[in-house]
Amino acid sequence: MDKILIIEDSTTINKIIYKKLTELSFEAHQAFTLKSAKELLKNNNYKLIILDLHLPDGEGIELIANIQSLSKTKVVILTSDQSNDSREELFEYGILDYIIKDKNLTYSIIEITKIIHSLEQTSKGNVLIIDDSKFICKQVKTMLEPRNYTLKSAYTARDGLDTLMQNDFDLLILDMELPDIHGIKVLELIRRHNKFLYLPIIVLSGTSTPEIIRTTLKSGANDFLKKPFIFEEFVLKVDLWIDYFKKEKTIQDKTFELEFINKNLEKIVYEEVEKNRKKDKMMFQQSRQAQMGEMISMIAHQWRQPLNAISAANSVIKQKSRINKLNPTTVSEVTSKINTYVEHLSSTIDDFRDFFKPNKDIKKTNFEVILSKTLVLIESSLKNKKITLIKDIKNTQNFMAYENELVQVVLNILKNAEDILLDTKTKNPTIKISLDKTKITIKDNGGGVPEKILNQIFDPYFSTKTKKNGTGLGLYMSKIIVEEHCNGKLDITNSKDGAIFSIELPNKVDK
């Protein structure tokens, strides 16, 4: 944890600052004299020192002279001394700030807190200074590096321009009187590049006539300082312009992003719609394939009895023929039965073929018709598995919908109910179907859906039948058909006995 040293002879002020720093989770140490401060500095490394200039046993400035690097140990002056000379001298040393004690200390504490938060930034920004004076470059470095700025120096215009082109900077400090190219020309060269249109530039100059200032600002400079500049003013302007540049850059990036989205919105929406269409089409195909497997199983079940009867009839004819007792009456009776069985087989095929027919026409229908068509496909299977089917049909009303698709939905719900009743080995397995106006309710006594997965039951690829190769698409596609294709509502709830599926459609009927 970073350590902060408070050197302040006022017990009240020291305690207030200490309390605030500990609230911010910093390890704070207190010193009330120059001597105690020196002892603490011998045994500890501090990230920040909050220093009063006038202490009972000496002057605080003595400590600054002894600190090896103000880049590693930052110093904030907190004093009642309003001397401009002291202030300027200390900024030249590289202090972070010079805060005058406020009577209620509120403003002072706020300023200190701001400084502490800024120190948590690894780098506040990259700065390039182009100035032929190594003394000025060193002064700027002394002032900015303690503030966590990264500084590069160039002593000619050409070196500076090369450095600028090869790196990213948040601020340029430019001298006007360079040995190879005049500052005005350098400004013009920089502003020709789109990359540097918004880069803040502070110009330093030995002369400051109104004409020079005007020409400099018109040529692309953002600010102007006359040498020798006031250190505190310089530091404040660097902070100001870098902060402005970063905010402006963020705004430009967001603006560009919004412009791009607006220009490409139609294309983006179209692409997303197409993706969803392809995804839904693929899911429909997968769901359809799964249904076809179930249909084949149902066809096999419905065909088994008539095929066995045909086989038995055929055996009768063969047996009678072998013993020469095959008479016209027997042949007529047996072939009549065979024709009945064949018609049943043909009727079954027609029923299942109609189910798979890609009928996309919206038509007037009702749930009594839909249920009748569904039961043709599954009622025999339910009876064979000894599942009791109870129908409660009230006053059904017509609506406009895709009839075949709703048959698929009801069939899928009934198949799910059948599966759960068999899996749970429910005693007296029962499915109750209620019809009322434009609503159908399907209720089973299989125990219901666990509450933790109830909200996932309509999600794509979510299945509780993984051991039976469930696709997890049946109920998802049912939801799509009812709510998106037919503008209705498909819900599931649990009762004390089992699951309750309900489908409700709007009762709008075309005249």
Q: Is 394 exposed, middle or buried (0-12, 13-18, 19+ CB in 10 A)?
A: exposed
| φ, ψ for residue 126, nearest 5 deg | -105, 130
What are the pLDDT digits (tens) for 303-316?
665 676 677 677 77
Residue ranges of alpha helices (H) inside 120-156 are 134-144
Query: 357 pLDDT exceeds 90?
Result: no
Concatenated DSSP letters of 341-376: HHHHHHHHHHHHHHHHS-----EEE-HHHHHHHHHH
Q: Is residue 185 assigned to a domain?
A: yes
User: Which pLDDT does position 509 carry in this prediction?
Assistant: 64
The answer to whether residue 129 sits within a structural domain is: yes
Domain closes at, from 321, 356, 391: 356
Query: Is 346 in the same domain as 468?
Result: no
Last residue of a domain, one of 62, 95, 120: 120
Averaging pLDDT over each range in 191-205, 254-268, 364-378, which range is the top one? 191-205
Least confident of 80-84, 155-159, 195-199, 281-285: 281-285
DSSP code per residue over 219-257: TT-SEEEESSPPHHHHHHHHHHHHHHHHHHHHHHHHHHH
The verdict on residue 241 lying in a domain is no
pLDDT, tens digit, for every residue of 253-295? 788 778 777 777 777 777 787 887 777 666 666 656 555 655 6
What mean pLDDT comes out for the span 142-163? 91
Question: Does residue 302 surpass a pLDDT of 60?
Answer: no
Q: Is residue 234 part of a domain?
A: no
CATH for 67: 3.40.50.2300
- On whether both 306 and 364 belong to a single domain, the answer is no
Q: How far apart are CA 51 and CA 439, in angstroms?
A: 80
Domain carrying residue 112? 1-120
Interatomic CA distance for residues 141 and 138, integer angstroms: 5
Q: What is the pLDDT, as a whole number, of residue 318?
A: 81
* Residue 83 belongs to a domain: yes
**Final residue before a domain boundary, out of 120, 135, 170:** 120
Average pLDDT for residues 350-356, to the nearest whole number?
57
Q: What is the pLDDT of residue 1?
A: 55
- Output the average pLDDT for the chain: 82
Q: Average the pLDDT over 13-26 and give the result.
A: 87
Task: Count up the domains in the chain and report the number.
Answer: 4
Q: 277 and 374 in one domain?
A: no
Q: Which of 32-36, 117-121, 269-273, 493-497 has the lowest mean pLDDT?
A: 117-121
Q: Whose CA is closest to 202, among 160, 172, 163, 243?
A: 172
Q: Is residue 256 part of a domain?
A: no
Within this chain, do residues 112 and 169 fall inside the same structural domain, yes or no?
no
CATH number for position 315: 1.10.287
Do 423 and 368 belong together in one domain? yes
Q: Per the domain annotation, does 431 fall within a domain?
A: yes
Give the confidence band of 469 by pLDDT, cuts at 50, 70, 90: very low
Residue 247 lies in a domain: no
- What share of the chain in percent tops pLDDT 90? 23
- Are 150 and 64 part of one and the same domain? no
- Please state the rounded mean pLDDT for residues 467-496: 76
Q: Same structural domain for residues 323 and 387?
A: no
329 and 378 fall within a common domain: no
Q: Which CATH number covers residue 465?
A: 3.30.565.10
Q: For the segment 57-72, what is each residue's pLDDT rounded down to a tens digit?
A: 888 888 877 776 666 7
Answer whether the bond into residue 328 is a cis peptide, omega within 30°: no
pLDDT in tens, 83-135: 777 777 788 777 888 888 766 677 778 888 877 777 776 678 899 999 999 99
Is the pLDDT score of 344 beyond 90?
no
Query: If pLDDT is split at 50, 70 and 90, which confidence band does 467 have?
Result: very low
Same domain, 51 and 113: yes
Higher pLDDT, 348 or 415: 415
Tokens representing 383?
Answer: 């009876």
481 & 391 share domain: yes
Least confident stretch, 17-21, 445-449, 471-475:
471-475
Instruction: Flag whether pLDDT at 466 surpasses 60.
Output: no
Contact between 146 and 74 under an 8 Å Cβ cutoff? The reply is yes
What's the token pair of residue 265?
A: 């919105």
Q: Are residues 174 and 151 in the same domain?
A: yes
What is the per-residue pLDDT for 470? 47
Tell me if 482 sits within 8 A of 430, measured CB to CB: no
| Predicted pLDDT at 118 | 73
User: 434 in helix, strand or coil?
Assistant: strand
pLDDT on residue 471: 45
What is the DSSP-derived secondary structure letter of residue 32?
S
Rounded Cα distance between 453 and 469, Å, is 19
Q: How far apart are the first and last CA of the chain?
A: 79
Q: Is 464 exposed, middle or buried (0-12, 13-18, 19+ CB in 10 A)?
A: middle
pLDDT in tens, 160-196: 999 999 999 999 999 999 999 999 999 999 999 888 9
Answer yes or no: do 342 and 434 share one domain.
no
